[in-house]
């Protein structure tokens, strides 16, 4: 039986991309005729015609080749990826965006790395950021710098979610069941031998990005909280530092009182400054602890990561490449 490569494609309002995506993938798999391929579109609660177009494409393709899972609402890309992975059966599984910003032909190099060079997964890495606003690139660089310094994970700048992995890596990722999913961090955390496949940035084929600056900031922030506990330790150090500063200040007052007991002192101003400073420190620290507490709260609720509204996935695995399909190629 042929090995199957399954592509998991999260889609949110991508009605103008689906057909182009399918056509490009089909072209690539003409070269990879020794493999079967399945595309699993995960419709992440799209408000446009995405699901109907996926169904149309599924209707024209070989039976079972184009699968879909429609989620009950928009859960976000990370949950959509989890939904796709948890339903996947392919021997190799790839994660790809629907907008063709992840060039499908890279699959060939990725497959080569896994099959011939002994890697467990291959991940695409953008080496240019053309077409991206300056502020986004700057922010992104700063994010990688900070997260790599304060967490156990090592994220590579320009790394994307686009990857091809062996079944065991998929199982490892699925075993990480946290709700607030920062996929890039989870990939890095599970480990395994990864090969970086570099490529030049590509612009979307149609539609527009779902990310604005604030959205990206929230994503980065939540990724940071998910993997770093350093801020909590930082709070302890800050507390110690303030205590030491208080002792030095007390010693300073004591010495100057000894030297001149009648020296005029502005007691009101210094007390106000210290009170405001400490008030600020205490509230910030509580807020920081609150962030982690909120995470614990969300995680202990143990809510499902997604709900499926409908799907056309058939359970049994079979060779999809029928004789007439071979002729069509
Ligand atoms: N996406 C999703 N759910 C969301 C937002 C995005 O499934 O809530 C999908 C989207 O359809 C696309 C991929 O995630 O296939 C990447 O999104 P986008 O192209 O907007 O991000 P960018 O490439 O600009 O980082
Ligand atoms: Mg995109």
- For residue range 278-328, list pLDDT tens digits in order: 888 899 889 989 989 998 998 899 899 999 999 888 765 555 555 445 444
pLDDT digits (tens, 9 = 90+) for 134-182: 777 788 888 888 888 888 788 888 888 999 999 999 999 999 988 888 8
Tell me the CA–centroid distance for residue 98 and ligand 2, in Å. Answer: 7
**What whole-number distance in Å separates Cα of residue 8 and Cα of residue 6?**
6
Helices (H) and strands (E) in the chain, counts: 11, 8
Higher pLDDT, 281 or 72: 72
Indicate if the pLDDT at residue 106 is higher than 80: yes
Q: Which residue has the higher pLDDT, 142 or 106?
A: 106
Question: Using CA atoms, how far apart are residues 169 and 181, in angstroms rounded to an integer?
Answer: 16
Predicted local confidence at residue 131, as pLDDT: 65
What integer pLDDT is reported at residue 96 of this predicted model?
95
Residue owning the nearest CA to atom 21 of ligand 1: 209
Cα 206 to averaged position of ligand 1 atoms, centre (Å): 12
The CA 204 to ligand 2 mean position distance, Å, reads 6
9 neighbors 40 (Cβ within 8 angstroms): yes
Q: CA-to-CA distance for 321 and 140, rounded, in angstroms?
A: 42
| Model confidence at 245: pLDDT above 80 | yes
Mean pLDDT of 78-105: 93
Please tell me the number of the ligand nearest to residue 77's CA: 1
Q: What is the Cα–Cα distance from 19 to 55, expressed in whole angstroms?
A: 11
Q: What is the pLDDT of residues 3-47, one digit of tens each?
A: 999 999 999 999 999 999 999 999 998 888 889 899 999 999 999
Instruction: Locate 326 and state its tokens.
Output: 């071979």
Measured CA to CA in angstroms, residue 67 lies from 38, 83, 305, 317 at distances of 7, 13, 20, 13
The closest residue, in CA terms, to atom 5 on ligand 1 is 77
* Ligand closest to CA 15: 1
* CB of 92 closer than 8 Å to CB of 165: yes
Query: What per-residue confidence (pLDDT) applies to 320?
Result: 54
Question: Do residues 66 and 308 touch, judged by C-beta distance below 8 A?
Answer: no
The answer, as to whether pTM is greater than 0.95, is: no
Please, which residues bridge with residue 40 across strands? Answer: 8, 67
Distance in angstroms (rounded) separating the CA atoms of residues 133 and 30: 36
- Whole-number Å distance, alpha carbon 272 to ligand 2 midpoint, is 51
pLDDT at position 327 = 43
Which residues does ligand 1 sit against, CB inside 6 Å? Answer: 10-12, 14, 44, 74, 76-77, 80, 97-99, 101, 209-211
Instruction: Point out the ligand 1 atom lying closest to the alpha carbon of residue 81.
Output: 7
Measuring CA to CA, which residue among 184, 29, 180, 44 is closest to residue 92?
29
């Amino acid at each position: 039986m042929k090995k199957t490569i399954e592509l998991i494609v999260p889609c949110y309002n991508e009605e103008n991309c689906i057909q182009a995506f399918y056509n490009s993938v089909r072209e690539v798999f003409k070269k990879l005729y020794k493999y079967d391929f399945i595309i699993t579109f995960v419709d992440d609660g799209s408000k446009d015609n995405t699901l109907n177009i996926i169904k149309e494409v599924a209707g024209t393709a070989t039976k079972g080749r184009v699968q879909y899972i429609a989620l009950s609402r928009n859960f976000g890309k990370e949950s959509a990826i989890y939904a796709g992975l948890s339903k996947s059966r392919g021997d190799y599984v790839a994660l790809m965006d629907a907008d063709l910003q992840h060039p499908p032909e890279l699959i060939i190099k990725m497959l080569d790395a896994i099959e011939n060079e002994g890697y467990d997964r291959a991940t695409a890495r953008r080496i240019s950021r053309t077409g991206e606003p300056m502020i986004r690139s700057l922010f992104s660089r700063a994010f990688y710098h900070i997260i790599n310094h304060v967490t156990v994970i090592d994220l590579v700048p320009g790394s994307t979610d686009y990857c091809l992995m062996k079944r065991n890596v998929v199982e490892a990722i699925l075993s990480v069941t946290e709700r607030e999913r920062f996929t890039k961090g989870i990939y890095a955390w599970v480990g395994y031998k990864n090969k970086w496949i570099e490529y030049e940035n590509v612009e979307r084929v149609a539609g527009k990005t779902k990310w604005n600056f604030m959205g990206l900031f929230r994503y980065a922030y939540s990724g940071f909280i998910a993997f770093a506990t350093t801020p909590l330790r930082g709070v302890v150090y800050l507390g110690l530092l303030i205590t030491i500063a208080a002792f030095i200040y007390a010693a300073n007052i004591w010495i100057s009182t000894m030297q001149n007991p009648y020296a005029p002192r502005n007691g009101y101003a210094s007390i106000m400054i210290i009170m405001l400073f400490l008030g600020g420190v205490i509230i910030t620290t509580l807020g920081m602890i609150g962030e982690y507490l909120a995470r614990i709260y969300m995680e202990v609720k143990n809510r499902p990561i997604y709900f499926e509204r409908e799907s056309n996935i058939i359970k049994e695995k079979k060779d999809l490449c029928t004789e007439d399909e071979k002729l069509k190629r």
